[in-house]
């Protein structure tokens, strides 16, 4: 009743959810003490020593008679004030509770009263060691109550739990499970396992215990895997990346939904969202109805247009300026500078390019305007990779329409062709293939007479590198150098005419492609012909089919991908539960 009174006092008339009420009640009950008057003669009464009115009893068992537990530790003062603070309060005539010494005496008295209650037998239990948060066992002494008993009665028998005959250690299904696992190699253990396996709720524990705790190999049961991955697999590249980096981490994140509480801060994903949204809205705003960019705007007008879009975005997401912190505003000022730099770079690129932006934030989804590629899986069903393309540029040559898909990258992750063979960072290539092979068949984004062909995929850096200004360098020159740092990586078509349609003079200003002295094309990115793109597509399909097959078979091992470029464990949140990384 006292506990309920406390809840009423604390919560008042507040409306709370069932879960909040449960947490509140649990918090109050944790502080409550338990005591009950025996209702009949033959019974076992369990309670706290200072509350129990045991009366005439024959046997008393003192649980947890270890140092600091029973009698309890009192030198830390009460829950709110330390002993030293209580002393100060007392000097001012305030006495919120008894001092530590009195509390210690009360604790010892509780032990004395419990120990002297039984008329026939007293049993005390205490542990010799206890585990800390670091998992290490530490020695624990018996409490001073036990030490005093031993001093008074030197003939007292101290029995170790481990010396008790095994058969006597099993008194419940839970203790039988413990014994079955601990003594797995003995006839007793085998008999207990056999017995427990008849109970379905315990059989699962027995099976799990067969797998050593430090084993990296983990696999879902065929039934569970079939349940989770029934039919087709709908995947995103983030899920694929997660699975390739560590299957165990993938299950923790996407199947068990284990996640750290979200921290309310503007993180790298928010920075990416900001840049993507502003670039999308700006590019849409400067497109004429005929699908061409309006180059009549001056640099100043473009900056004003971008500022309007940025202000609308910030106010929509973060409120009016007076509601935002100076730190947030300073972050947005920095992002604005970078975004304006990217905008000017894009305007510069398209003013000399024959490729035109045709779609922005184009979703790749089944039933949508652009269908994902269907990749048949060996175990049945198909895999589909969903996502969104930041920008699709097109160039028409005769009846052929060449596509270039572009992704803005605000992070520092670099694209690498070798990642594709692992199944990482494939999304842009897959989206290109989706449009190439599904583009004008079942949907309407391309006309039926348009022969869709790949011209490339580009990751464009949308986060400016830091540049140091020379003492006499003007702002324009510094901005030009920063703009040069906005690199593009990816794979482009090995066709000079098409490359010149992207950058007329091939002087490495917008795409890293140039003409060598011998007239051949030079580039720091991969150049492929149409057949090469076809080969890349076949390889990508094979890689995804292999990953999808592993998923369908329930492969969930904690085998992190660690090579000279990455370490899956480095930023993984599941070190506390996996069997590999020691936290």
Q: Where does this chain bind ligand SF4 (CB under 6 A)?
A: 246, 248-249, 558, 560, 568-569, 572, 574-575, 578, 580-581
Please say whether the dihedral angle defined by the alpha carbons of residues 497, 499, 502 and 508, taken in this order, is positive or negative: negative
Q: What angle separates helix 326-351 from helix 299-318, to the nearest 10 degrees?
A: 140
Name the minimum Å distance from CB 217 to ligand SF4. 12
Which residue, 134 or 296, is less far from ligand SF4 as judged by CB? 134
Is residue 209 within a helix (H) or strand (E), and if so which, with residue range? helix 200-210
Contact 523, 378 (CB under 8 A): no
Name the minimum Å distance from CB 560 to ligand SF4. 4
Distances (CA, A) of 25 to 28, 33, 79, 579: 5, 14, 18, 35
Contact 358, 394 (CB under 8 A): yes
Rounded Cα gap, residues 107 and 101, in angstroms = 10
Which residue, 341 or 558, is less far from ligand SF4 as judged by CB? 558
Rounded Cα gap, residues 194 and 309, in angstroms = 69
Which residue, 357 or 560, is less far from ligand SF4 as judged by CB? 560
Rounded Cα gap, residues 418 and 536, in angstroms = 12
Name the minimum Å distance from CB 502 to ligand SF4. 39
Name the minimum Å distance from CB 547 to ligand SF4. 16
Contact 347, 301 (CB under 8 A): no
Which residue, 250 or 431, is less far from ligand SF4 as judged by CB? 250
Name the minimum Å distance from CB 570 to ligand SF4. 8
Which residue, 319 or 575, is less far from ligand SF4 as judged by CB? 575
Name the minimum Å distance from CB 469 to ligand SF4. 41
Rounded Cα gap, residues 116 and 51, in angstroms = 15
Strand 488-493 versus strand 526-528 pairing type:
parallel
* Two structure tokens written together for 64: 């947890």
Rounded Cα gap, residues 32 and 180, in angstroms = 36
Which residue, 73 or 581, is less far from ligand SF4 as judged by CB? 581
Which residue, 77 or 560, is less far from ligand SF4 as judged by CB? 560
- Rounded to whole angstroms, the maximal C-alpha distance in the chain is 107
Which residue, 508 or 581, is less far from ligand SF4 as judged by CB? 581
Name the minimum Å distance from CB 543 to ligand SF4. 20
Residue nearest to ligand SF4 (CB): 578
Measured in degrees and rounded to the nearest 5, phi and psi for residue 60 equal: -130, 130
Which residue, 29 or 576, is less far from ligand SF4 as judged by CB? 576
Measured in degrees and rounded to the nearest 5, phi and psi for residue 338 equal: -65, -45
Name the minimum Å distance from CB 258 to ligand SF4. 10
Name the minimum Å distance from CB 561 to ligand SF4. 8
Burial, 125: exposed, middle or buried (Cβ in 10 Å; 0-12, 13-18, 19+)? middle
Rounded Cα gap, residues 540 and 542, in angstroms = 5
């Amino acid at each position: 009743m006292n506990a309920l009174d406390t809840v009423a006092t604390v919560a008042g008339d507040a409306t709370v959810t069932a879960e909040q009420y449960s947490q509140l009640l649990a918090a109050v009950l944790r502080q409550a003490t338990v005591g009950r008057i025996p209702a009949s003669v033959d019974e076992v009464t369990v309670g706290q020593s200072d509350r129990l009115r045991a009366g005439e009893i024959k046997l008393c068992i003192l649980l947890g008679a270890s140092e600091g537990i029973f009698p309890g530790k009192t030198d830390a003062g009460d829950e709110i004030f330390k002993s030293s603070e209580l002393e100060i309060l007392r000097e001012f005539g305030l006495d919120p509770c008894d001092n530590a010494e009195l509390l210690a005496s009360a604790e010892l008295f509780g032990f004395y009263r419990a120990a002297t209650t039984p008329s026939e037998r007293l049993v005390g239990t205490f542990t010799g060691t206890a585990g800390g948060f670091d998992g290490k066992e530490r020695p624990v002494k018996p409490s001073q109550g036990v030490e005093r008993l031993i001093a008074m009665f030197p003939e007292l028998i101290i029995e170790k739990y481990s010396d008790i005959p095994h058969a006597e250690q099993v008194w419940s299904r839970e203790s039988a499970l413990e014994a079955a696992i601990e003594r797995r190699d003995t006839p007793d253990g085998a008999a207990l396992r056999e017995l427990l396996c008849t109970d379905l709720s315990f059989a699962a524990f027995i099976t799990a215990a067969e797998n050593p705790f430090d084993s990296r190999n983990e696999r879902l049961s065929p039934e569970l895997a079939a349940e989770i991955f029934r039919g087709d697999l709908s995947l995103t590249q983030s899920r694929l990346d997660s699975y390739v980096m560590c299957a165990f981490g993938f299950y923790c994140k996407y199947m068990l939904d284990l996640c750290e509480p979200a921290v309310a801060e503007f993180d790298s994903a928010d920075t990416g969202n900001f840049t993507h949204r502003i670039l999308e809205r700006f590019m849409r705003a400067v497109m004429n109805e005929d699908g061409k960019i309006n180059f009549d705007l001056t640099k100043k007008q473009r900056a004003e247009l971008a500022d309007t879009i940025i202000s609308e975005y910030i106010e929509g997401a973060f409120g009016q300026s007076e509601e935002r912190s100076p730190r947030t505003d300073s972050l947005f000022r920095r992002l604005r500078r970078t975004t304006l730099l990217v905008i000017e770079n894009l305007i510069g690129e398209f003013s000399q390019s024959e490729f035109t932006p045709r779609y922005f934030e184009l979703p790749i989804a089944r039933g949508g305007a652009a269908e994902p590629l269907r990749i048949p899986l060996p175990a049945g069903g198909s895999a589909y990779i969903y996502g969104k393309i930041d920008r699709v540029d097109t160039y028409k040559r005769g009846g052929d329409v060449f596509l270039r898909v572009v992704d803005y990258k605000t992070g520092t992750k670099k694209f690498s062709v070798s990642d594709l063979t692992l199944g990482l960072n494939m999304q842009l290539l897959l989206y290109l293939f989706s449009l190439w092979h599904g583009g004008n068949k079942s949907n309407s984004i391309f006309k039926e007479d348009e022969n869709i062909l790949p011209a490339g995929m580009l990751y464009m850096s949308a986060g400016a590198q830091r540049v140091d200004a020379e003492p006499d360098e003007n702002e324009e020159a510094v901005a030009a150098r920063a703009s040069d740092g906005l690199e593009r990586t990816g794979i482009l078509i090995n066709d000079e005419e098409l490359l010149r349609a992207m950058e007329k003079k091939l002087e490495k200003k917008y795409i890293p492609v140039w003409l060598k002295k011998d007239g051949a094309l030079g580039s720091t990115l991969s150049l492929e012909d149409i057949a090469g793109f076809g080969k890349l597509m076949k390889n990508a399909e094979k890689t995804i089919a292999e990953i999808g097959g592993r998923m369908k078979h329930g492969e969930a091992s904690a085998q992190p991908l660690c090579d000279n470029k990455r370490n899956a464990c480095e930023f993984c949140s599941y070190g506390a539960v996996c069997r590999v990384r020691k936290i």
